[in-house]
Structure 1
Amino acid sequence: MAETLTIIAEFGTTPETYDKFLEMCYYDSERSIADEAGCLEFTVLTPQDEGNTVVLYEVYTGRTGFDAHLQTPHFQKFSSAVRDLKIEQRSVRFFNKRSS
């Protein structure tokens, strides 16, 4: 049985940090898709009615694919930006998708 891991992470910014954080999200997304065999999808979403919110939709081959993502240089850069820009991590949810 194949299993993928989907992560939905929601972040809050300020008007001053929104563009910089969004740029970092796109960078992390592009590098994840290009450099990681375990990353199947990485989409950056911005809700229409919440101007300072960014949602990341990520799909990995499983927990090992996600754990490998956490060790990459681009994720480390993203993580530093979250800290340095004082981005609010509102929620991070993990979902398993099983198929036969």
Structure 2
Amino acid sequence: MSVKQSMIFGVTALLLVLSGAPAMSEEKSKQHIQIAEIVVDPAQLDSYKSAVAEQIEAAIRLEPGVLTLYSVSNKENPSQITVFEIYRDREAYLAHLQAPHFLKYKATVEKMVKSLKLIPVDPVVLGSQAK
């Protein structure tokens, strides 16, 4: 390959990479991201954990618009649960709310959950090695 061909190839490759950057940013800006702060009745914590595990497993397996669901408990107060949620877009989130496994989860935990606060967030930096 001549120097001229190498330069043309390099510039073309750079333009392709740069033109993809706005598309990726646009895609991320469409995502629906929120945090759910949940307080569970401590006497029902094991049952809650079982129900949320079943719901998250089904959502990740069955719903292509559900990108990330992490549920964690506070070490000092395990009945305080935080769920980090990322959906492809708002429509995927709304579809998730109507999914049979989510409706089952809501009915199951209705009397276990003492409070629920949904906090919409914007990403600053998201990083993961999980596949």
Which stretch shifts more, 63-72 or 47-56?
Answer: 47-56
Q: How does 1:22-33 map to 2 (within 5 A)?
A: 22-33=49-60
SS in 2 for 1:49: coil
Q: Which residue does the alignment assign to 1:20?
A: 47
Hey, what's the Cα distance between the residues in 2 that align with 1:70 and 1:14?
Answer: 23
Query: Aligned-pair RMSD on alpha carbons?
Result: 1.6
Q: Which has the larger radius of gyration?
A: 2
Aligned residues with identical type, % of pairs: 23
Structure 1 residues not aligned, in runs of 5+? none
Hey, what's the Cα distance between the residues in 2 that align with 1:22 and 1:29?
Answer: 11
Any runs of at least 4 consecutive aligned residues in structure 1 with deviations exceeding 3 A, and if so which? Answer: none
1:73 paired residue among 76, 100, 107: 100
1:88 paired residue among 95, 105, 114: 114
Q: Which residue does the alignment assign to 2:89?
A: 62
Cα deviations by residue, 1:57-85 (Å, 9 ceiling, x for unpaired) = 111001001001011111001110232x2
1:43 paired residue among 67, 70, 78: 70
CA contact (8 A) 2:41 2:112 kept: no
Q: Which residue does the alignment assign to 2:14?
A: none
Residue identity in the other structure for 1:88: K
Q: Which residue does the alignment assign to 1:10?
A: 37
Larger relative strand fraction: 1
Residue identity in the other structure for 2:94: D
Residue identity in the other structure for 2:92: G
**RCO higher in 1 or 2 (8 Å CA, sep ≥ 6)?**
1
Hey, what's the Cα distance between the residues in 2 that align with 1:30 and 1:65?
Answer: 16
Aligned length: 97
Q: TM-score, normalised by structure 2?
A: 0.68
Deviation at 1:96, TM superposition (A): 3.9
